[in-house]
Structures are given as structure tokens and as C-alpha cells.
Amino acid sequence: MSRVCELTGKGPMTGNNVSHAHNKTRRRFLPNLNDVTLVSETLGKGFKMRISAAALRSVDHRGGLDLFLAKAKDADLSANALKIKKQIAKAQAAEA
């Protein structure tokens, strides 16, 4: 399982551990990923995703999964999230 957020594309970053003697060794900064189930209001069902805590706050701020995916760039989304975005767009077009 890769350590990449499905909604924002946020992944591991690298940097240095710096000791008191100023010795530098390489390290990884991993994103804070959580397994959550997000509910789509348009489709009326939940989707299990592995997203970062920051992405979860962004989903809440924008008003839910449907509105977040509508504004999200396709390049940042995972294949699963992109499929959900297309399903939502198709359902909204049929509804209108």
C-alpha cells in the first residue's frame, strides 16, 4: 500500500535528521494518512479511501466529497477518486 493521499496526491518527503553535533542523516517525512469512508450525497453511498488529515479537513471545509471532487485537479486524484468524480458528474448531469 503506497503512502500517498488519494485526494491531494500528498506523499512522503525527504529531509535530514540533524544531531546536536550537527551531523546530518537522511530521513523521510510521511503524510498523516487515515482510512476513512466518505459519503457522496449525489450517489447516496460511501467510499473507502486513504486520505491525509489535511485532505479530510479540506473535504469538510468545501462541504463534502461531491464539492471537493468538483474543484479538485484530475492530476492530483488517484485512479479510484477519478472514477468516483466521473460517476458523480454523470449522476448530476442526468439529474439536471
Residues whose CB falls within 8 Å of the CB of residue 78, separated by 6 or more in sequence, listed in order: 4, 6, 7, 9
Is residue 47 within 8 A of residue 37, CB to CB? The reply is yes
Q: What is the pLDDT of residues 15-50, one digit of tens each?
A: 999 999 999 999 999 999 999 999 999 999 999 999
What is the reported pLDDT for 2?
Answer: 86
Q: Give the pLDDT band (50/70/90) at residue 96.
A: confident
CATH H-level, domain 13-95: superfamily = Ribosomal protein L28/L24 (2.30.170.40)
Q: What is the pLDDT of residues 60-93, one digit of tens each?
A: 999 999 999 999 999 999 999 999 999 999 999 9
Per-residue pLDDT at 1 exceeds 90: no
Per-residue pLDDT at 55 exceeds 80: yes
What is the reported pLDDT for 22?
Answer: 98
Look up residue 24 and give its DSSP letter: E
Question: Could you state, in order of their start, the residue ranges of all structural domains in the chain?
Answer: 13-95
pTM: 0.87
